[in-house]
Amino acid sequence: MTEPLVARHSLEYPGGYTRSVGDVVGRYLTGLRDGRIEGARLADGRVLVPPTEYDPLTSAAVSVDDFVEVGPAGTVVTWSWVANPRAEKHALDRPFAFALIRPDGADTSMLHMVDVATPEEMSTGMRVIPHWRSDRIGGVSDIEAWRPYKDGDPIPEVPPLPFSENMGDSVTGIVTSGRLDYEIAAGESTTRFLLGLAEGKIIGGKAVGSDDVYAASRGTDPTTGAPTSISVDVSDTGVITTFCIVNIPGLSDLAPEIPYVSAQVLLDGADNTFFGLIRGCSVDEVRMGMRVKAKWLDQLTTDHGSIEWWEPTGEPDAEYTDYKDYL
Amino acid sequence: MRDVAVVSFSYSTIAKEQMRNEVEMLAPVITEAIDASGIARSDIGFTCSGSFDYLQGGPFSFVMGLDAVGAWPPIRESHVEMDGAWALYEAWIAIQTGEVDSALVYGFGKASQGNVHEIMSLQLDPYYVAPLWPSMVDLAALQARAYLDSSGLSERDLAEVVAQAMRSARDTPQAIRSGEPSIEELLAAPYVASPLRDADIFPTTDGVAAIVLAAGDLARSVNKRPAWIRGLDHRIEPHSLGARDLTRSESTALAAKHAGVASGPIDVAEVHAQFSHEVLILSEALGVDPSIVNPSGGPLAANGIMSAGLVRIGEVAQRIMDGTANRGVAHATSGPALQQNLVCVLEGE
């Protein structure tokens, strides 16, 4: 068995993921932007920090009218040490502690970071105070981190924000970013198929005791779940079973200029259809039953892109009865 | 209520599967479970799976998983974006409705294709918590310290839990980790997120699991000793970590009460404890002695993400089906720091 292929890909939302925050979360984040920590006083008198739209115990609605200021000093309820901060994820580039911190006057605690040099400086019950950023935008990272605090010491000043025309407005949304990297193992069958593409061949598979051939099999006959252990070469010619003419511009960076045709192609010798673009004729000429052939890239790769598009062979159209079961 | 039983179970795990894709991992396990059930594939009434798209970074991964089932002629099917234990709950409900008499349940996931500790952060509160990017290990460590502080127990007690799990795992073919580590050896290892060390944290595991359920007479006709589900319940706590009592698992205790854990003796317990301290918190909540917990080694030995909860049910059911236990409890968890918990009581006839 050849070494299976591995694809590297990333999951990321360019520009970040935008969320509306609503009244309650918006009021809390507005407070953070203005250098103030607030909580919501619940019906039973407890003060919930950070506030949520509903009392987590009773589900009674929480209103901005219930807001009270808490802190700024607080107490560490529990903590864990991050010896190796993760670049692009964590706001601090040096070791720190994650902690649940209960601000003075609150009955619940909030997750945040404590900025000390070593874990020996951390302890449950220690007193901490927020260190505010000077470029606050209305988000939990407006507090850069919390720092140790000795009761009776002066409360550090909150650095003022530079003047801006909308500095009095309420926070209505946040943008969050993040990226995850993956290494996806193609598996045996897909590897076989992709290596075939690099040689200009379409490889399918079939299960023992079955005549059904699946081009680009993922490893099983999808109708029975049996492994497609027998490798079968499939033709690079076939029949258009169904198609659509795309008139929407900019669907993807890879899409050709509109109008273009996307189609399902039933390959000769296979029992499943294959997605492809149809070119080499006007979009008006494309029809169900039309015979087509793969147009291979000059430089073949282990990638679906090895087949650039499908073009008419000029052979007579297939009969509807020949492909009606594959629609 | 209809009597419903586990009639077969199969699972596989590997630290990092590079030869096979998810479908290729699933197919043999599903086939083994169906073959062992004595029910023909075409006679299974309902199919339900658990998986998590962010593990591979693409949408609708469960649709691909169906290639391993055989979905023609069309089958009744459903999916949960959770561990397979919750898929089993849905399948159990489906059988309770009387519409079907049997079900195939499976869970699958390859945790090794990305950074699973960070991927799980995508389930956190997006306003207050997720932007800070705590990993699931960081959050578990907060709970571990809160538990140690409140219970008076120490990191040595956590090491004892790990040592017991590793000894038990020696007899489990699916174990990624097993052995006879000394307490001193365990305590000498560096912290990953204090107070947790590497051995206190589940090993990254690619895994798949499948269970076949059957009702009443069908279960009796295909299996000499089915593992009957006597109680099944799940409960969830608020998402806000600071609004919860992290030193205990109230949701597990409540699910255990409703599942009837205490209404008979418990011979075996399998809990979905992905961190050492969770074994202790969950044992307390279930009211079982930690010495009978996780005879398989549990998730500290192998933890297929999205299948390990279902495996707990399977491990208990297997011991009942083979006659080594008569009544047991299985637990599955979801969410950060034991937010949501499912409890299943199983019994022989």
Q: With a cut of 70, list the residues of chain A below it in pLDDT.
A: 1-2
Contact A227 B27 (CB under 8 A): yes
Contacts with B232 (C-beta within 8 Å, 6 or more apart), sequence order = B89, B92, B259, B342, B343, B344, B345
User: By the CB < 8 Å criterion, does A56 face chain B?
Assistant: yes
Name chain A contacts of B71, Cβ cutoff 8 Å: 222-223
The vertex-A55 CA angle with B237 and A127, nearest 5°, equals 80
CA B196/CA B189 separation, integer angstroms: 10
Inform me whether the C-beta atom of residue A185 falls under 8 Å from chain B C-beta atoms: yes
Interface of A with B in 260-299 (CB under 8 A): none
Nearest CA in chain B to A8: B113
E strand or H helix at B227: strand B227-236
Note the helical H segments in chain B: 22-37, 61-65, 84-96, 116-119, 136-151, 155-168, 183-188, 216-222, 250-259, 276-286, 308-321
Half-sphere exposure of A320 (CA within 13 A, CB side): 1
Query: Is the backbone of residue A16 left (phi > 0), alpha (psi -120 to 50) or beta?
Result: left
Cβ-defined contact of B191 to A83 (cutoff 8 Å): yes
In the DSSP assignment, the letter for residue B234 is E
**Nearest CB to B18 within list A6, A139, A225:** A6
Write out chain B residues lying below 8 Å of A1, CB-based.
Answer: 19
| Structural domains in chain B, sorted by start | 4-116+204-222 (3.40.47.10), 120-201+227-347 (3.40.47.10)
Residue that the structure tokens 């033709």 belong to:
A235
For residue A186 the two structure tokens come to 């193609």
Q: What does the alpha-carbon distance between residue B286 and residue B138 come to, in Å, rounded to a whole number? A: 25
The answer to whether the CB atoms of B142 and A183 lie below 8 A apart is no
- pLDDT for A198: 95
Does residue B137 have a pLDDT over 70? yes
SS3 call for B172: coil
Q: Which of B10, B35, B63, B67 to mutate to test the interface with A (most CBs of A within 10 A)?
A: B67
What contacts B179, CB < 8 A, 6 or more positions away? B166, B167, B169, B170
A-contacting residues of B 116-175, CB under 8 Å?
118-119, 122, 126-134, 138-139, 141-146, 149
Q: Enumerate residues 107 to 146 of chain A having a beta carbon within 8 A of any beta carbon in chain B.
A: 108-113, 119, 124, 139-141
**Contacts with A, B 200-229, CB within 8 Å:** none
Burial of A9 (0-12, 13-18, 19+ CB in 10 A): middle
Q: Got the DSSP string for A73-88?
A: SEEEEEEEEESSPPTT
Tell me what pLDDT residue B282 has.
98
Question: Which of A228-247 are b and which e, b meaning 16 or more Cβ less than 10 Å from the residue's Cβ?
Answer: beeebebebbbbbbebeebe
Give the torsion through C-alpha atoms of A246, A247, A249, A255, to 10 deg.
20
For B119, name the nearest residue in chain A, comparing CA atoms only.
A180
Q: Taking a contact as any Cβ pair under 8 Å apart, which residues of chain B between 42 and 61 contact chain A?
A: 54, 56-57
Q: Residue B115: how many CB atoms within 10 A of its CB?
A: 17
DSSP character for B256? H
Averaged pLDDT score across all residues of chain B: 96
Reported as a single tens digit per residue, the pLDDT across B17-58 is 988 999 999 999 999 999 999 999 999 999 999 999 999 888
The per-residue pLDDT for A2 is 65
Contact B145 A102 (CB under 8 A): no
* Whether pLDDT at B178 is above 70: yes
Contact assignment for A180 to B20 by CB distance below 8 Å:
no
Q: Give B127's contacts in chain A (Cβ within 8 Å).
A: 19, 21, 25, 29, 140, 174
Reply yes or no on whether the pLDDT at B229 is more than 70. Answer: yes
| B298 has a chain A CB within 8 A of its CB | no
What is the pLDDT averaged over residues B179-198? 97
In whole angstroms, what is the distance from residue B124 CA to residue B131 CA? 9
Residue A189 in contact with partner chain B when CB distance is under 8 A: yes
3-class SS of residue B317: helix
- Quote the CA–CA distance of B348 and B135 in Å, as a whole number: 40
CA-CA-CA-CA dihedral for A300, A303, A306, A312, to nearest 10? 160
Which has the closest alpha carbon to A220: B206, B26, B306? Answer: B26
Domain ranges across chain A: 17-176, 188-326
**With an 8 Å Cβ cutoff, is B183 touching chain A?**
no
